[in-house]
Amino acid sequence: HHMRIALQLNPCDADSIEQMGMLLTMRGRPLEALTWLARGIRIDPLHPHWYQFDRALALYMMGEYRQAAEALELATRPAPWIRTRLAACYAQMGDMEKARRQIALIEEGEPFSPLDYALRGVPFENPADAEH
């Protein structure tokens, strides 16, 4: 409800448009989300890196693991949550060596639990989506 009001007040705000896409992903509607996410990127071609993370999450939820990985690989300085999702993409594609490498890079950095983030870090409306 609040997101729709924000978009009515400022229909050209790329961040609000992008966040509508993320909200739709969290609500189990990733295909619809991609339209919003692409629109946000089109409006702000110099968008922040988290736009690609949100786009990758929608693609991942649709089973488009290669496209999701390609979006995540655009990150110039991948944060642990980006590496976590990238490891999941690689694992889903059967490339366990690349998946393990991402986890190793996380473990080399600051204390962070990829499994804890994967289970609790993304507030999906449908609990089954978090299991995916």
Query: What pLDDT, in 10s, does the model give residues 44-59?
Result: 988 888 888 999 999 9
Mean pLDDT of 20-28: 95
Burial of 39 (0-12, 13-18, 19+ CB in 10 A): middle
Q: How many CB atoms lie within 10 A of CB 4?
A: 11
For residue 130, pLDDT beyond 80: no
CATH topology classification for 2-131: 1.25.40
Q: How many CB atoms lie within 10 A of CB 31?
A: 12
Instruction: Find where tokens 């339209």 sit.
Output: 35
For residue 20, pLDDT beyond 90: yes
* Torsion sign, CA atoms 44, 68, 49, 4: positive
Which is more confidently placed, 103 or 77?
A: 103
